[in-house]
Amino acid sequence: MGLLAEGTPLDWPEAKKVAGHVREWGIEQLLAIWRRAKGKERDKLLWGDEIEYLVVAFDDEKREVKLSLRQADILKALANDEKLLKQGGGVPELATGHVKSGKTAPTFHPEFGRFMLEATPGAPWGIDFKDLLDVEQDMKWRRQIANDHMYASEYPITMTTFPLLGDRKSITPWYPPSGASLRSQFVPDEIANPHIRFPTLAANIRARRGRKVELNVPVFHDEKTSTPWKDPTVDYDMHNWPEDDDVRNGAAKDDCIYMDAMAFGMGSCCLQITFQAMNIQEGRKMYDQLSPLGPILLALTAATPIYKGFLADTDVRWNQISQAVDDRTPEELGEKPLKNDRWRIPKSRYASNSTYISQDPRLRPEYFDPDLIVDEKLKARLMEGGMDDLLATHFAHLFIRDPIVVFAEDLEKLDLDSTDHFENLQSTNWQHMRFKPPPPGNDIGWRVEVRPMEIQITDFENAAFSVFLVLITRALLSFDLNFYLPIARTTENMETAHRRDAVLNEKFYFRKDPLPKRQPKLNGASNPPSGASTPQLQPSRPASPFGPVEDEYELMSVDEIINGKADGSFPGLIPLVESYLDSVNVDVETRCELAQYLALIRGRANGTLWTAAKWIRHYVREHKDYKKNSVVSGGMNYDLVKAVERITKQEGRDGRTTALTTPMASHKTLDMIFVLLSSIKADVQLPTERVDRIEKYVSPGMGHAAGRQVADTPELLGMILLQLPMRDLLLAQRVSKGFKAVMDGSASVQRALFFMPESQPADNAAYHLPRVNTLLNDYSNYRHIPLMAYARLPIFYDFTQRNDFTQRETPRAIALHSFLPVAGPTDGTFAVLLRAKEMPAGFREEVAAMRPDRYATGSWRRMYLTLPPCDIFFHDNGSHRSDSIHDCTKLATGVVLGELFEWMHENTSECAVEAEWKVNDCERGKEPGAVVHFWRLCKPDH
């Protein structure tokens, strides 16, 4: 959000009367920018991210969480922080003549919602790869600073929307709804930033529209949700404002959650990235090429499954914001014949974009939006001023809108050195891509803003998506990739991205072949690089006849788009990024950190990691208070937001695989465990680090007695412990003698630890799928779950050791490698397969250097590999992957980890054996189990 100008805003319809005037002046200002900056060249890649927060206030006594409307106070505290100012941070909007000292503390900005904050890095990022690793740290720093300027009960969370916004209760301080500007029956005027711009924006959108904005989000029909479902919170008897008639005129639709104010949309948080291009041509290219990625990014970052206390049937915020700022009149919407308005407009001001602007020979006329509305008069003026057709069309399209907030003072004189009128329209066209001309008076270049992504719960995720996008832009510029797709398909994709779990279940139109079509130029000549200093020089390419546009794209899953198609026909965005990284010099630590970010995106796309939307929905549906009727109660919301806060702080380091893959129930339980541990701290023999964390975590005096009580109740303790992930469960044995006794005495704990076989369910024994020891899965997590990357080789690790990249002390002979499942036997059996295989170089030395005695004890040795216990087969038909266990020798049944470990170490020789452990479930037509690889040295006669 830009700087907030002061002035006397015009009410509607006064503003309407001067709209043409503002547009014309805006166009003149644009032409001035164009003349000044069209030749601007050689700008660096600079980029920036914007993080938006919701400020929530917890009341742990009452188990309540509310939106805090203290934005102004918090910003004031930030603006007056001397230390922050010295480092260049603060709040530019509130700065009083203070000059930045060149240091780069983050800066904070007001946002539409009075419960929101926006934070940006103090200085833009570059493309030094080490810079990319600073992004996450900076995001964490921002959150920390914001938090430091709040009350102890407040916290800046990054959820797109507050689940109970509009419940008429969950704001503090509390104000009654139905104010003069919003006229909402759900939220008060005080929900919006009090700066005059915001209430005017809301009021004028409502006035222009002729009624309140109307947000109808399909409700998620759970088992006990009625059909048709009518939003029970709608008040049909309110008579404060003329707009209160809206609901009596059918504004609230059946089976939809109904909302009626701009705050429901503009109160959403998103993650936006802005890139500076080297020149206008490169900017136009990035704008076009990133546009088709928008819906994919939206689906990947989906995080919005709840509105106004109800589970929605959609996963993302986009359409709700679109509806929340939709100022179109009934005529423009096509509900009434055109009489006063100039045209029907197919999209809201907030929508997927509708233009391509790059002067690229690959841009075919068929790609353009057939429904594009353009102000031809303004376009003619732009072209008369020297602008080319494509760009003139783009801006003349944006300028079909009316300015919403007009300050009387600005209409006195046209200032061509200013951009206020241009920005007035430019910045109230909220399309998913934004092409931004250089601002006057400084050296900033042409920029492209990418706007579709939803904010993510953790800074790790926000950094991952930011960095991914940066790398994608570098790959597409280096490889000259082509993602062009007809705009109408991108518009459809945007709708598709709304569906529940679209990231896994839906298919999106995407270009089949993004690779450049050009032949390598003959005679050893290189192709002129795209966007080099002589950009007019377009690569000459053979005049290959264009086929039908429809043949250029097809429906693909997000997994295919991100990770590539199995048959290699589509490379995948992640492999493209990796190919780019292969072509530049990157140091090992950076590359490995970047690999974690890419692993997050990869995992989101292939389903191994959940979107926040899926996790939140799952959390609600698994909550003990949930009545299967789509209702999210205050208590559930408290637990949810509390959980979100914890995930933000812990990022899965609290022993969970990752927050977003683990059901919330166990997070809550983990709390209880921590409370428990703290209450009996005298007994605790845990690593210091863990104890420290517990101390930080548990508020003083909290839960001491309760913890003791639980610990004294073995059944209760056993049940709680069962919620723990495997590693913590193993570790829990070492908490105290009391813990150990409880665990030893509990059959279910023993089974959970894979210490004893569980009884087979008699009914569907044939289909009973063995469970894989999750300790082994933990290892496989290292590839799929970036947060676990540092916690590798769990079995043979010293649990007390914290391992990180530079301090890794690994027993090396055993390495477990997870692979994608290979085809297995067809009879539903499963087994451990051992095969003779070429020994990896250095393997023997590694074994020689090992100290097996170090692993002589440890309860993990008693763990089965699977439950029910599996067979081990040996297989030696060379290095070819076998798809069958039928030609193998059975070695043993019911092997435990200790035996396996011994077996792998008993001999040293010239060959190695690869053990491949697979769990098959072919009867169901899929293979859900992990496949784990071991290496071991074997006897020569093998």
Partner 1 sequence: MKLILSTSNIIATGSSLRRSPGTKSNSELISSLRSNFEAHYTSATNDSENGNGITKSHYRSWTRRKDNGLEVPSLEFEDSALQEERERYDITLKLFYLPGAHVGQREVQTREALKLVLEGLHMPSVDLLIVSFPGIYFDEEEDCLDKISTRGPIESEPEGLESLIETWKTLEKLHDEGLVKKLGVAEFGHDRLRDFLDGTTIKPTVDQINLRDCCSVPKDLLTLAKSKSVELLVHNDCSNILPRGTTRELLGPGEGGAGILGEEAESSSKVGEKRKSLHGEEVRNGASESGSKDAMRGEVQPQWVVKYTAVVRDRGVVESKGYFAVAEVME
User: Quick one: which of 237, 443, 809, 941 contacts partner 1 (CB under 8 A)?
Assistant: 809
Residues 6+ apart with CB under 8 A from 660: 457, 609, 610, 611, 612, 615, 647
How are beta strands 831-837 and 871-875 bridged, if at all? Answer: parallel
Give the 3-state secondary structure of 795-847.
CCCCCCCCCECCECCCCCCCCCEEECCCCCCCCCCCEEEEEEECCCCCHHHHH
Q: Is 124 one of the binding residues for partner 1 (CB under 8 A)?
A: no
Distance of closest approach, residue 517 Cβ to partner 1, in angstroms: 9
Q: Is 520 one of the binding residues for partner 1 (CB under 8 A)?
A: yes
Question: Which residue, 45 or 772, is less far from partner 1 as judged by CB?
Answer: 45
Please give the Cα distance from 942 to 933 (Å, whole number).
18
Q: Which stretch binds partner 1 (CB under 8 A): 29-37, 530-538, 700-708, 880-888?
A: 530-538
Residues 6+ apart with CB under 8 A from 806: none
Distance of closest approach, residue 270 Cβ to partner 1, in angstroms: 25
Per the DSSP assignment, residues forming a β-bridge with 864 are 896
Q: Is 530 one of the binding residues for partner 1 (CB under 8 A)?
A: yes
Residues 6+ apart with CB under 8 A from 23: 375, 378, 399, 403, 421, 425
Question: Which residue, 529 or 607, is less far from partner 1 as judged by CB?
Answer: 529
User: Quick one: which of 224, 248, 512, 591 contacts partner 1 (CB under 8 A)?
Assistant: 591
Distance of closest approach, residue 579 Cβ to partner 1, in angstroms: 5
Q: Is 127 one of the binding residues for partner 1 (CB under 8 A)?
A: yes
Please give the Cα distance from 657 to 663 (Å, whole number).
10
Q: Is 126 one of the binding residues for partner 1 (CB under 8 A)?
A: yes
Q: Is 875 one of the binding residues for partner 1 (CB under 8 A)?
A: no
Q: Which stretch binds partner 1 (CB under 8 A): 38-46, 155-163, 337-345, 667-675?
A: 38-46
Q: Which stretch binds partner 1 (CB under 8 A): 166-174, 365-373, 737-745, 838-846?
A: 838-846
Q: Which stretch binds partner 1 (CB under 8 A): 259-267, 502-510, 516-524, 642-650?
A: 516-524
Please give the Cα distance from 572 to 917 (Å, whole number).
29
Q: Is 935 one of the binding residues for partner 1 (CB under 8 A)?
A: yes
Distance of closest approach, residue 475 Cβ to partner 1, in angstroms: 9
Q: Is 459 one of the binding residues for partner 1 (CB under 8 A)?
A: no
Q: Is 841 one of the binding residues for partner 1 (CB under 8 A)?
A: yes
Distance of closest approach, residue 360 Cβ to partner 1, in angstroms: 13
Please check whether residue 666 is in contact with residue 724, taking contact to mean a CB–CB distance below 8 angstroms: yes
Distance of closest approach, residue 644 Cβ to partner 1, in angstroms: 29
Q: Which stretch binds partner 1 (CB under 8 A): 261-269, 385-393, 522-530, 821-829?
A: 522-530
Which residue, 638, 317, 251, is CA-closest to 455? 317
Which residue has tokens 């190695």?
912
Q: Which stretch binds partner 1 (CB under 8 A): 227-235, 381-389, 510-518, 853-861?
A: 510-518
Residues 6+ apart with CB under 8 A from 493: 292, 294, 295, 296, 508, 509
Element of type H or E holding 657: none
Q: Is 716 one of the binding residues for partner 1 (CB under 8 A)?
A: no
User: Quick one: which of 502, 503, 576, 729 contacts partner 1 (CB under 8 A)?
Assistant: 576
Rg of the chain's alpha carbons, rounded to an integer? 30
How many positions of this chain bind partner 1 (CB under 8 A)?
70
Q: Is 512 one of the binding residues for partner 1 (CB under 8 A)?
A: no
Q: At what angle do helices 376-384 and 19-37 cross, to 10 degrees?
A: 30
DSSP notation for 717-753 = HHHHHTTS-HHHHHHHTTT-HHHHHHHHH-HHHHHHT
Distance of closest approach, residue 285 Cβ to partner 1, in angstroms: 11
Q: Which stretch binds partner 1 (CB under 8 A): 163-171, 287-295, 577-585, 656-664?
A: 577-585
Please check whether residue 297 is in contact with residue 317, taking contact to mean a CB–CB distance below 8 angstroms: no
Question: Which residue, 247 or 481, is less far from partner 1 as judged by CB?
Answer: 481
Q: Is 568 one of the binding residues for partner 1 (CB under 8 A)?
A: yes
Q: Which stretch binds partner 1 (CB under 8 A): 433-441, 571-579, 734-742, 828-836?
A: 571-579
Distance of closest approach, residue 345 Cβ to partner 1, in angstroms: 38
Distance of closest approach, residue 354 Cβ to partner 1, in angstroms: 28
User: Quick one: which of 77, 815, 891, 922 contacts partner 1 (CB under 8 A)?
Assistant: 815
Q: Is 607 one of the binding residues for partner 1 (CB under 8 A)?
A: no
Phi-psi region of 754 (alpha: psi -120 to 50; beta: other; left: phi over 0): left
Question: Which residue, 204 or 530, is less far from partner 1 as judged by CB?
Answer: 530
DSSP letter (8 states) at residue 190: G
Please check whether residue 70 is in contact with residue 59, taking contact to mean a CB–CB distance below 8 angstroms: no
Q: Is 5 one of the binding residues for partner 1 (CB under 8 A)?
A: no
Amino acid at the residue 933: H
Which residue, 893, 889, 929, 894, is CA-closest to 913? 889
Backbone torsions φ then ψ of 819, nearest 5 degrees? -130, 170
Question: Which residue, 229 or 934, is less far from partner 1 as judged by CB?
Answer: 934
Which residue has tokens 């509105």?
307
Distance of closest approach, residue 793 Cβ to partner 1, in angstroms: 8
Q: Is 685 one of the binding residues for partner 1 (CB under 8 A)?
A: no
Q: Is 76 one of the binding residues for partner 1 (CB under 8 A)?
A: no
Q: Is 592 one of the binding residues for partner 1 (CB under 8 A)?
A: yes
Distance of closest approach, residue 132 Cβ to partner 1, in angstroms: 10
Question: Which residue, 711 or 937, is less far from partner 1 as judged by CB?
Answer: 937
Q: Is 762 one of the binding residues for partner 1 (CB under 8 A)?
A: no
Helix, strand or coil, per DSSP, at residue 142: helix
Contact characters 273-292, partner 1, x per CB under 8 A: -----x--------------
Question: Which residue, 521 or 886, is less far from partner 1 as judged by CB?
Answer: 521
Q: Is 821 one of the binding residues for partner 1 (CB under 8 A)?
A: no
User: Quick one: which of 808, 881, 886, 939 contacts partner 1 (CB under 8 A)?
Assistant: 808
Angle at 639 between CA 635 and CA 642, to 5 degrees: 135
347 half-sphere exposure, CB direction, 13 A CA radius: 29
State both tokens at 465: 């998506």
Distance of closest approach, residue 509 Cβ to partner 1, in angstroms: 22
Please check whether residue 481 is in contact with residue 281, taking contact to mean a CB–CB distance below 8 angstroms: no
Q: Which stretch binds partner 1 (CB under 8 A): 48-56, 190-198, 353-361, 529-537?
A: 529-537
Please give the Cα distance from 190 to 67 (Å, whole number).
12
Backbone torsions φ then ψ of 916, nearest 5 degrees? -125, 125
Burial of 435 (0-12, 13-18, 19+ CB in 10 A): buried
Pick out residues in 894-933 that bind partner 1 (CB under 8 A): 933
**Other C-beta atoms lying within 10 Å of the C-beta of residue 234:** 16
Please give the Cα distance from 91 to 432 (Å, whole number).
26
Residues at the contact surface with partner 1, assessed by CB under 8 A: 42, 44-45, 126-127, 278, 474, 477-480, 515-516, 518-534, 539, 564, 568, 571, 575-576, 578-589, 591-592, 595, 783, 789, 805-810, 812, 815, 817, 838, 840-843, 846, 933, 935
